[in-house]
A and B are shown apart, each in its own frame.
Chain A
């Protein structure tokens, strides 16, 4: 390769390649890499299956390259299995959960960070204790409560429950973020003439933006993926979210003996895509936020 001008300089700056396993024999190198590849293949296999089976008219329970690429599976799930409704329900519930959660954890985290309270340590530990409770232990009382309050088969019920699941952890996370926002910033805003409430919105929240992105991302993902509570709270066709549609398609389309793998895989693809979209849209804020959550902003 001939390099001229600036390129030549760049080449000089590249450090000499070091062997990744310095000192090892050639056999060692080959064995290590074979092991790495095997592990990577093991973890990637389900995704490979998902993305090949979804476009395969005769998908099987093992990985195979489709004889003919087709979108038929996608057409079918929308036309015959009302997947659009499930997608809509899931999206609406997850986005609403995210909005509600972000509002609540921002205010709660700020309060725990800033306001002098009696027994504040106990309050914060009590919140953490809630997080450690196994969700399945609360299944029966939640079912009972939801039935009494008319929250079964309702968006509100799902949104409230999904928010509640993630609240304790995210309140803690946000408290940590607010702790790392210097108090002087909001004090300066008060002296500049702002009320405490507006200073929170104009100064503190924008500075804590990476934290809010993390809270938003995590609450969306958790609501999107939640199965157990949906199973308990929803039995009406029109209210089903994706995990339920999934389950039902698996059960009814051909039954257990003749599972329509192509349909299930197509649903899986559409289930995974929004998650990836959310991640890529917010990845830089998320990474900054997650890093900051362990060492302050």
Chain B
């Protein structure tokens, strides 16, 4: 178990215009489940690989338990990495795959056997031990890869999109299991994903990255409710936050279609052009709100996403399952004052 620190870490690849990771500073607590979240090319995998020793930072320091690991070979860092491709050794049986890191460490064969059995039991793959990786399904391979990481009892687990090759149902299932496993083992885990739902459900804290820069670091609720900027606001949440250009008028805000919504207290009143962000659940359909026309309703069973036309903008509203307005219906919208987020349109920074 260990505490991990990134201290102003930079990494630029040859032939690239901008750095893959730019000035990343991040403290990860002992036993924490931290998710690095962002679109492809945001630098999340590079950040992970630098901790593993598979890439080298141009500048900055990475410390595990206060000791710099930058000069160490991957083999000396005592971290385990679960690859997106699983990277199981195809010429070895599942048993030998899981045993490999123990054999490398020169454990007695009785010890090896005991730990392999325990890891296999934990992941319920005892029956797969004699097989070759090529004979396993994607989900089974994923479990073997996890077992190979767990069996070592490393200081830190690193996971590079380990769920993205699984089908949707298995992915949701494994998500839950992985989170439970991490809580049981209590080992510091850094998990890379581009899937915001994975991040929201599994993380103790989420670090959102874009174009090599850390955008926001916080608990899932915090990141969801109070995004630090427009990028985070639109990257997290499904459907994403409604974003509308707004004018300030008589102490309120006017957005597309002339809809007046309450203006929250702004941190910085200097911004001239504003953007309003409203989560789909921060808007409700009422009797006395602003009139709008329904474009289409998307029933999802437990809820309905109603798409309404507001001037030339499209707004998504989350409602209960029994509300089913039809296309062309006229509805009235009301914004929850506590759910109104305001951003500086030029910089994207959150003002409220």
Contact = CB atoms under 8 A, between A and B. Distances in A.
B81 A194 contact: no
Contact of A190 (B74, B83, B85): B74
21 contacts: A182-B87, A184-B85, A184-B87, A185-B90, A187-B52, A187-B54, A187-B74, A187-B81, A187-B87, A188-B81, A188-B83, A188-B148, A191-B52, A191-B53, A191-B79, A192-B104, A193-B75, A203-B89, A206-B91, A207-B90, A207-B91
B290 to A, nearest CB: 54
Interface residues of A, number: 16
Q: Top 10 nearest A-B pairs by Cβ distance? A: A184-B87, A192-B101, A193-B104, A188-B87, A190-B74, A206-B91, A193-B75, A184-B83, A191-B74, A191-B81
A182 B89 CA distance: 10
Residue of A189, A193, A203 with most chain B CB atoms under a 10 A cut-off: A193
Nearest to A182: B85
A204 B91 CA distance: 10
A195 interface: yes
Contacts of B341: none
A194 B89 CA distance: 14
B150 to A, nearest CB: 13
Interface string A163-200: 00000000000000000001011011111111100000
Contact of A193 (B54, B87, B89, B105): B105
A190 B76 CA distance: 9
Contacts of B73: 190, 195
A240 B95 CA distance: 51
Contact of B100 (A184, A187, A189, A209): A189
B89 A185 contact: yes
B80 interface: yes
Contacts of B80: 191
Given A187-B54, A187-B74, A187-B81, A192 B152 contact: yes
Contacts of B104: 192-194
Interface of B: 52-54, 73-75, 77, 79-81, 83, 85, 87, 89-91, 100-101, 104-105, 148, 152
A207 B81 CA distance: 21
B185 to A, nearest CB: 18
Nearest to B104: A193
Given A185-B90, A209-B91, 7 more contacts: A182-B85, A185-B89, A187-B87, A189-B100, A192-B100, A193-B105, A206-B91
Q: Which of A184, A190, A192 has the most CB of B within 10 A?
A: A192
Contacts of B100: 189, 192
Contacts of B91: 206-207, 209
Contacts of B81: 187-188, 191
Contacts of A187: 52, 54, 74, 81, 83, 87
Contacts of A193: 75, 101, 104-105
B87 to A, nearest CB: 4
Contacts of A191: 52-54, 74-75, 77, 79-81
Contacts of A195: 73, 75
Contacts of A182: 85, 87
Nearest to A190: B74
A209 B90 CA distance: 12
Contacts of B105: 193
Contacts of B148: 188, 192
B85 A194 contact: no
Nearest to B105: A193
A9 B54 CA distance: 57
B87 A185 contact: yes
Nearest to B74: A190
Contacts of A194: 75, 104
A211 to B, nearest CB: 13
Contacts of A192: 75, 100-101, 104, 148, 152
Interface in A238-280: none
Contacts of A209: 91
Nearest to A184: B87
Nearest to B158: A191
Of B52, B87, B100, B148, chain A has the most CB atoms within 10 Å of the CB of B87
A178 B140 CA distance: 27
A76 B330 CA distance: 108
A185 B52 CA distance: 14
A194 B102 CA distance: 11
Nearest to A297: B90
Nearest to B101: A192
Nearest to B151: A192
A161 to B, nearest CB: 35
Contacts of A206: 91
Nearest to A198: B104
Nearest to A186: B87
Contacts of A188: 81, 83, 87, 89, 148
A187 B87 CA distance: 9
Nearest to A181: B90
A152 B27 CA distance: 68
Contacts of B75: 190-195
A190 B74 CA distance: 6
Contacts of A185: 87, 89-90
B86 to A, nearest CB: 8
B9 to A, nearest CB: 19
A190 B91 CA distance: 17
B191 to A, nearest CB: 16
B121 to A, nearest CB: 21
Nearest to B75: A193
A67 B53 CA distance: 76
A144 B148 CA distance: 58
